Structure 1
């Protein structure tokens, strides 16, 4: 009997080992047999976590008079996963460290672009690997083209604030297509202030230069690039045009595209337009890699401006739709990824004051971004010596709907007092952020009257905010196409680039 039991145990162990070995072989073969995608789209929603996309879906659902959601194109993709975002030296990451992790497959320190955590060694990005493999490469963004996330795919600099050196790296890369915002500091950075984070969100004036350096746009021309900055020249671009830097004809703060909510369809170029043009220019027999960043989701989340966030997410979805149209023509050769670098604002589909109620359709009453509204407040402050709070309340009513009973946006006494207090602070001085300021938790780094209006409308819609900064929430990634199964499950942000590079190899 004991010998029989012993033999059974031997057979049992052998079967387990055989199954494990077979599973490993199958897994290895699955990875090895995955074709290399010929066309790769990597969309990054800067600041976009699960809530930002879901809020946009809830908003669309509410407009259709539903208590549910209306799905976005990119949330319906068949392969879904999540990844962690922490940097090497901080749990809550920043765009430079997160962008570098997504582009290179290695962790780095806060504010570092395309280099290791000690800022000593350059890290090769997946875009650079693609170029070496013969792919054409495109980098598209709604913020300045030398901003942290796009820079992580072509630059190698100790800090994201070295915009001038980053712009030189841009033309040194030899990539085929750059599009979106302009160059922040094409003639030099001046004194670099690592603590001036608001300049990275398109706020605040740039420093004057004591001595100008060679204009980096002119350097790019000397390296063979063509600079496009008019709508007509953009439309004239056609297949075969190469080494293009296409800058939007109208730029907002921080040399970025205007927010989608502020754009004019007849005169502005959208993220979707830049994406479609990229497909046209980059399509070739050897394939292409294109990174497309919706960078101003992050900026609007920093300002806790829910309506503007939604419009930026919807604009990203339109850009994704362009890629999906291409995918339908090349389903066996194309990979599409949609992720984010981190979540911003701690956006929540629920607010303590609204209990279980939501009214997302109220957000349609906002007709401009916080940026444009803050400019109106500034112009009024500078044009009058005796500010009238009633003028401010009418301004809020006109652009946010707040105070309009017919639109179900009646203000209660507490909300009205919040606006009056904030208006008084906005009229006394141009508000400057200090994290030690007693009002920081109310207004963050923003104009008090503007951010208060954004908060009240968010709250009435049933949306809460926990921060004016980033959070450490894991980020969803959606995918379809060749190799998309490699991006399911729960993993780290560095694994995205590692798996992309493996597919390319």
Structure 2
């Protein structure tokens, strides 16, 4: 009996030892995420945020491209939760604040905790360390996600105040979209003109490709660079609609790196903001192409990393999923055909704003469904003659009925009201014909949508470089900021602005 007990104790001790070895193997190699910071520090930090880019958005973009995304090849891969302080499904303001500062906050709050106290961001901390700081976004530069890195306001809609906070931040480079309320027309307390204030603060403002490409690094240079065409809400055009004279997200990123590079290092946040907007409208192709454009911007950072592998950290994540994108549709059962998505030539935005507008102008009072069919085929590839059994681009009879009804609503310029549940479920707040076309195309390709809003699904985080192993595993979005703080050599904690004075 005693020998059996002794044998059991030996087995138990062996199991405990093996468990401890296994746990130690799971710890980050080369350092720990501890109160005093990571054992190594990164001189250069890239923080990429795909707005609305959940796991299905990344997977769909990879399938569409026929190869893994750049971010899929990174050695560290984690899963990140996204809930806000007061709602399971977050918005970009609460999510951006969590990712920038490490604190949960309420929906709509920017740079504030739930009690309206300002919290310091990793970008502001980097500036205090002597690093240069850059913020790039494909949406307006005063939108929720970029604002979360430099502004502290109780409402994400305070665009004028956010613009003024941008000027006061002293950050070295802002690039992408423009300002939504530069003159304070929608503000209760206008503070002047944001652009004039920026010039007075020493910023160089450029709004065309030639001047943008001519920018060269120089001592004290601070830049606000805006794309020449702002398609909607002061944002860059969707990648699918981008013209040769427009500046891509990758080009904004490359110029930021060129201008920010210096002996003290830099912090650069890049947002792919229109992934989210395309998903709100249930336009899979526009979302996919913006995801690929975002991934191309990540490749810019990767090339920089290859020159500075021991000094650089790249973190790529999303703030939330949007649209409830599903990689599978009941109508196609197990079948998917991503190649058919490549027949779409324009975004929902361009089709609604330009193509349909011109169509209505030309047909006048004689707009009928037969006339719109060739227009739909030309811009989305969907066909109205042929065999649906052999050609996935063929519109099925029930789909044509849906398109006809949506066409009648669209030609009548009907505004879909969100308080009408039945019509809202069909069209959201978008043009009825346009969103029905993208639904039909996406469904026939084997994709579907469950929402016109965000969802609570976790997102994927990928990392490469100094401290990348910290980003393996399953963790909350507040931990992203804390892990980055740690790799910056700082204590990974929420910092109240008053406490950091």
TM-score exceeds 0.5? yes
Residue of structure 1 in register with 2:120 after alignment: 124
Check the 8 A contact 1:48/1:298 in 2, yes or no. yes
Give the 3 Å change call, closer, same or farther, for CA 491–22 of structure 1 in structure 2: closer
Q: Distance in 2 between matches of 1:339 and 1:475?
A: 7
Written as runs of structure 1 = structure 2, the 5 A alignment for 1:56-455 is 56-61=61-66, 70-118=67-115, 120-190=116-186, 214-240=192-218, 242-264=221-243, 266-375=244-353, 376-381=355-360, 384-403=364-383, 408-455=392-439
Give the 3 Å change call, closer, same or farther, for CA 404–239 of structure 1 in structure 2: farther
Q: Distance in 1 between matches of 2:86 and 2:235?
A: 29
Describe the SS at the equivalent of 1:187.
coil
Q: Distance in 1 between matches of 2:26 and 2:396?
A: 64
Give the 3 Å change call, closer, same or farther, for CA 174–16 of structure 1 in structure 2: same
Unaligned runs of 5+ in 2: 490-501
Q: Distance in 1 between matches of 2:95 and 2:478?
A: 9
Check the 8 A contact 1:162/1:189 in 2, yes or no. no
1:53 CA displacement: 1.0
1:275 CA displacement: 0.3
Q: Distance in 2 between matches of 1:245 and 1:15?
A: 59
Residue of structure 2 in register with 1:196 after alignment: none
Task: Write out the 4+ residue segments of structure 1 that deviate beyond 4 Å after TM superposition.
Answer: 1-29, 404-408
Check the 8 A contact 1:433/1:446 in 2, yes or no. no
Deviates more, 1:298-307 or 1:212-221: 212-221
Q: Distance in 1 between matches of 2:117 and 2:429?
A: 34
Check the 8 A contact 2:416/2:428 in 1, yes or no. no
Q: Distance in 1 between matches of 2:383 and 2:65?
A: 24
Q: Distance in 2 between matches of 1:447 and 1:22?
A: 55
1:99 CA displacement: 0.5
Unaligned runs of 5+ in 1: 62-69, 193-210
Q: Distance in 2 between matches of 1:493 and 1:371?
A: 31
Q: Distance in 2 between matches of 1:85 and 1:33?
A: 24
Q: Distance in 2 between matches of 1:300 and 1:50?
A: 16
Q: Distance in 1 between matches of 2:25 and 2:325?
A: 43
1:321 CA displacement: 0.7
